[in-house]
Amino acid sequence: MQIKLNVNGQSIEDFVEPRMLLVHYLRDILGYTGAHVGCDTTSCGSCTVHLNGHAVKSCNLLAVQANGKSITTIEGLAIGDQLHPLQEGFKECHGLQCGFCTPGMIMTAADLLENNPKPTEQEIREGLEGNFCRCTGYHNIVKAIQYASEKMALA
Amino acid sequence: MSNKYIGQSIKRVEDKRFITGKGRYTDDIQLPGMLYAHILRSPYAHARIISIDTTAASKMKGVVKIYTGKDYEAVNGVPCGWQVNFKDGTTMREPKHPLLVTDIARHVGDGIALVVATDKYLACDAAEEIKINWEVLPSVTNAMEAMKPGAPIVHAEYADNRAFDWQIGNPKEEVDAAMASAHHITKLDFVNNRLAPNAIEPRSYIGHYDPVYEKYTLYTSTQNPHLIRLLMCAFVLGIPEHKVRVVGPDVGGGFGSKIYHYTEEALVTLAAKDLGKPVKWTSDRSEAFLSDAHGRDHISTAEMGFDKNGLIVGLRIKTFANLGAYLSTFSTCVPTYLHGTLLQGLYTTPKIHLDMTCVFTNTVAVDAYRGAGRPEATYLLERLIEVGAHEMGIDPTDLRFKNFIPPFDGVTQPGYQTQVALQYDSGNYAPVLQRGMEMLGYENFKKEQAESRKTNKLLGVGFSTYIEACGIAPSAVVGSLGARAGLFESAQVRVQPTGKVSVFTGSHSHGQGHETTFAQVVADKLGIPLADVDIVHGDSDTVAFGMGTYGSRSLAVGGSAIVKSIEKVLEKGAKIAAHKLECLVDDLEYAEGKWTIKGTDKSISFADVSLTAYVPHVYPPNLEPGLDFSSFYDPTNFTYPFGCHICVVEVDADTGKVTIKRMIAVDDVGNVINPMIVDGQIHGGLAQGIGQALLEGVNYDSDGALQNGSYMDYAMPRADDFPMFETDRKTTPCPHNPLGVKGAGEAGAIGSTPAVVNAVMNALWHKGVRDLSMPMTPESVWRAMNKK
pLDDT digits (tens, 9 = 90+) for B698-739: 999 999 999 999 999 999 999 999 999 999 999 999 999 999
**CA–CA separation, B499 vs B180, rounded Å?**
68
Cα-Cα end-to-end distance for chain A: 43
Least confident stretch, B118-127, B190-199, B310-319, B478-487: B478-487
Q: What is the dihedral of CA B388, B393, B398, B400, to 10 degrees?
A: 0
Residues B596-616, mean pLDDT to the nearest whole number: 98
- Give, for B517, the enclosing helix (H) or strand (E): helix B514-526
Which of these, B369, B254, B287, B274, lies nearest to B322 by C-alpha position? B369
- Could you tell me if B563 and B525 are in contact, meaning their C-beta atoms sit under 8 angstroms apart? yes
**CA–CA separation, B370 vs B376, rounded Å?**
11
Q: Quick check: B684 and A137 CB within 8 A?
A: yes
Decide if pLDDT at A86 tops 70: yes
Handedness of CA A98, A100, A103, A107 (dihedral sign): negative
Would you call B784 helix, strand, or coil by DSSP?
Answer: helix
pLDDT digits (tens, 9 = 90+) for B147-189: 999 999 999 999 999 999 999 999 999 999 999 999 999 999 9
**CA–CA separation, B78 vs B513, rounded Å?**
30
B363 vs chain A: nearest CA distance in angstroms?
21
Contact B48/A at CB under 8 A? no
A119 vs chain B: nearest CA distance in angstroms?
14
Residues B645-672, mean pLDDT to the nearest whole number: 98
CB atoms within 10 A of CB B599: 8
B107 contacts: CB under 8 Å, gap ≥ 6? B42, B45, B46, B324, B325, B362, B363, B364, B704
Q: Quick check: A37 and B680 CB within 8 A?
A: no
ipTM of the complex: 0.98
Size of interface A-B (CB pairs under 8 A): 186
**Cis peptide bond upstream of B485, omega within 30:** no
Chain B neighbors of A140, CB-CB under 8 A: 680, 683
Residues B82-105, mean pLDDT to the nearest whole number: 97
Contact B16/A at CB under 8 A? yes
Residue B294, class by beta-carbon neighbours within 10 Å (0-12 exposed, 13-18 middle, 19+ buried)? buried
B358 beta partners: B164, B321
Q: Which of B25, B253, B719 sits opposite A129 (nearest CB)?
A: B719
Would you call B69 helix, strand, or coil by DSSP?
Answer: helix
**Cis peptide bond upstream of A18, omega within 30:** no
Q: How confident is the model at residue B249 (pLDDT cuts 50, 70, 90)?
A: very high
Handedness of CA B317, B749, B769, B145 (dihedral sign): negative
Which of these, B376, B464, B405, B387, lies nearest to B643 by C-alpha position? B464
Contact B14/A at CB under 8 A? yes
B115 vs chain A: nearest CA distance in angstroms?
20
What average pLDDT does the structure give for chain B?
A: 97
Q: How confident is the model at residue B505 (pLDDT cuts 50, 70, 90)?
A: very high
Chain B neighbors of A90, CB-CB under 8 A: 15, 19
Residue A70, class by beta-carbon neighbours within 10 Å (0-12 exposed, 13-18 middle, 19+ buried)? middle
Chain B neighbors of A147, CB-CB under 8 A: none
Decide if pLDDT at B1 tops 90: no
pLDDT at site B307 = 98
Decide if pLDDT at A45 tops 70: yes
Q: Which of A40, A74, A131 sits opposite B20 (nearest CB)?
A: A74
**CA–CA separation, B724 vs A136, rounded Å?**
11
pLDDT at site B770 = 85
pLDDT at site B771 = 83
What average pLDDT does the structure give for chain A?
A: 97
Handedness of CA B666, B668, B671, B674 (dihedral sign): negative
For B680-713, give the secondary structure using H, E and C: HHHHHHHHHHHHHHHCCCCCECCCCCECCCCCCC
Decide if pLDDT at B788 tops 80: no
A5 beta partners: A12
Decide if pLDDT at B19 tops 60: yes
pLDDT at site B164 = 98
CB atoms within 10 A of CB B59: 10
pLDDT digits (tens, 9 = 90+) for B426-454: 999 999 999 999 999 999 999 999 999 99
- Could you tell me if B540 and B246 are in contact, meaning their C-beta atoms sit under 8 angstroms apart? yes
Which of these, A64, A74, A60, lies nearest to A14 by C-alpha position? A64
Decide if pLDDT at A115 tops 70: yes
pLDDT at site B787 = 85
Q: Quick check: A87 and B19 CB within 8 A?
A: yes
pLDDT at site B3 = 84
